[in-house]
Structure 1
């Protein structure tokens, strides 16, 4: 029991169940806050042994050991038409008067929850489930089961911890082996890179030699092509000259023949012209004689 020098009342430490020691989440609703407040207030009333029945307490202990929140066992809060209805189920410690304990719980819970309701009406219903006396000190089957579950949970935690340690050690060993393998691979890679560099140098030298040989061959081929081209040009020129001379000769012969043909045509034309002229003269004389005869005949007839 502790005494607050700044207050007129004494402060009594109360052992809270695990469900009431777990902090509420930041987004907890007003009903959850009211249930937590009602449970903590009820447990602080003298004569209250615990909230809820044995089954609820055993389930709360198991959930706590498994790392899960149990909420506020033994307290139910509902909101109906703007009114908070709070139901508290509890077990009274023998030999406390049951009625007085229940009434005090109702009074204190009503006052505590009303401060959270922002003016809401609060009704509190207290239900006494049982009375805990000296005859209840022996562990029940539920308590034994609860302890067995706790031991199993502890053993499971130890096994998980040992397995985690083995995994860490194995991981460290694997990491060390991986480091050695990586180093060996790096050395092998550097060695292979050196060999590849040397091989590349040899290939480059061979390529340069081959290129030089090819250049010489190309130069020789170019000289040969130039010589053959010059020979072909000379041959073409000679052939063209011979053809030109033969063409000139043929042209001269053709010119002589043409001249002869022109002379023959001129002579034939002169002969034909003379013959036409002679025939025209004869025809004109004959016409003149016929005309004279016709004139004479006409004169005789007159």
Structure 2
């Protein structure tokens, strides 16, 4: 037996459950440390058989998974408005007086938690059951607690499944949106490519038409020049022939003028 000068009561050393002997993480919050300390202190009070019932432990586990508070087996610590609310659930060993055990747990847990924090702290002790020689078999309360545990576990599983379904739906929606965006981009790109190809074809057609028109104009000019050249040559030939005829006529006239006259001509 050890004497606690703050609590003015006797504290009994007991073997702690494995979950209370595991080292706390370096970044453990004040609420987590207080929960561990409250559990260890309550287990040391004479008449406390164990902390928490099946349903209480399952509810504590669910609250911790949801990140609402800190706790350990049979102890729940909530920090609200600058104050700490500590709830301790105990099972009292027969034949210890239930009210005395609860009062002792409240006193010792209050003294222990005040050493860890300056926040205003309230301690609520709940007696879940009394354990005695007649509890070798599961009591009706234990059966009810076990059923409650099943309900809590099912609720936790349903919550996890709902979260998973929501995450899957969000991922699927995001994937569809990305696919739609990619498809729209590909359509825009294809449309732009088709427009560019059509414009290129039209430009090529226009260039070909311009080339054909230029060739036709060149042929017209060349033909006209050839025809003009031929006409000029024909005119020059005619002029030469006319000149030759004129020369012949001139020679004939000259011969006629110079020929001797007959005597019988007056």
Shorter-chain TM-score: which interval? 0.3 to 0.5
More contact order relative to length (CA 8 Å, sep ≥ 6): 2
TM-score, reference length from structure 1: 0.38
TM-score, reference length from structure 2: 0.41
Specify the structure having the higher radius of gyration (Cα). Answer: 1
Structure in which a larger fraction of residues adopt helix: 1
